[in-house]
Amino acid sequence: MRRKYTVAQAEACGYNRRATVTKQFQAIIFDMDGVVVDSEPLHERAFREVLEEIGYARSHGIDFAAYYGKSDLVVWRDFIARHRPPQSLAELLARKEEKFAALLQRVEPIFKGLPELLEKLSPGYPLALASGSRHPTIDAVLDLRGLRRFFRAVVSSEDVEHGKPAPDIFLRAAELLAIPPNVCCVIEDSAAGVEAGLAAGMTVIAITNSLPIEKLARATKVVRTYGEIESLLLPSSALRAPSPPRRGRGTG
């Protein structure tokens, strides 16, 4: 069942716009595209290959950068509204996902330092993945280098009523982890993701993998490297809140 959340619900959970990364966290929620994998160029290439096949190589009118942090569903719905192609939404989604999965297997674009960060965080924090991608794409990424083992909960935009910048996806991840939103920290790379995390009442660390600092200025903290994230979240064991008992891994 897809879940729907309101900003009022997020605020009731303790949203504090002035929160700092020195607070104690009980869970870390990662975005996927642009945080776990350097996938935005591959997504764009997969879209362009499909568009070329259906005759819109030069006339699609899509500004791909404007869709960073948003789902394939949003891109294709906008394209269909503009051009009315004969292909169905389901067909376009499937064709793009197939091409992306093939590219992903060839390139394996996991960000340098990301697996090591997950290894260090996972013993002390329950980790979740909250992605605007659909489950087939998420599964393809998590199959790379055993990444799936780090995440106790996985949520797709398919699982909630509204995608980013609405808070739904992060609130659902917190719900699956059984952790209050106001003690969750989000790792994001897009402006839409930053807004979603803030609206969920969470602290947001933004990394400049996809956008410059000024585009991410609303985040609680903006960093350039995974080493900086490690320093913020693991300054010492004394600064970390106790992790709750391990639960069965939820999947959205």
Q: In the chain, where are the structural domains located?
A: 7-37+110-251, 40-107
Q: Which of 31, 38, 168, 189 is catalytic?
A: 31
Distance separating alpha carbons of residues 209 and 189, to the nearest angstrom: 6
The pLDDT-based confidence of 239 (bands split at 50, 70, 90) is very low
Give every CB contact of residue 22 below 8 A, 6+ residues apart in sequence: 239
Active site residue 33: yes
Q: Which CATH architecture does the domain made up of 7-37+110-251 adopt?
A: 3-Layer(aba) Sandwich (3.40)
Q: Is the pLDDT of residue 235 over 80?
A: no
Greater pLDDT, 171 or 18: 171
Q: Which of 33, 72, 168, 189 is catalytic?
A: 33
Cα distance from N-terminal residue to C-terminal residue, the chain? 9
The pLDDT-based confidence of 10 (bands split at 50, 70, 90) is very low
Over the stretch 165-211, which tens digit does the pLDDT of each residue have? 999 999 999 999 999 999 999 999 999 999 999 999 999 999 999 99
Nearest of 217, 212, 211, 188 to residue 200 by alpha carbon:
188
Over the stretch 100-124, which tens digit does the pLDDT of each residue have? 999 988 988 999 999 999 999 999 9
Give the Å distances, CA to CA, from 158 to 70, 123, 129, 174, 195.
12, 29, 13, 16, 19
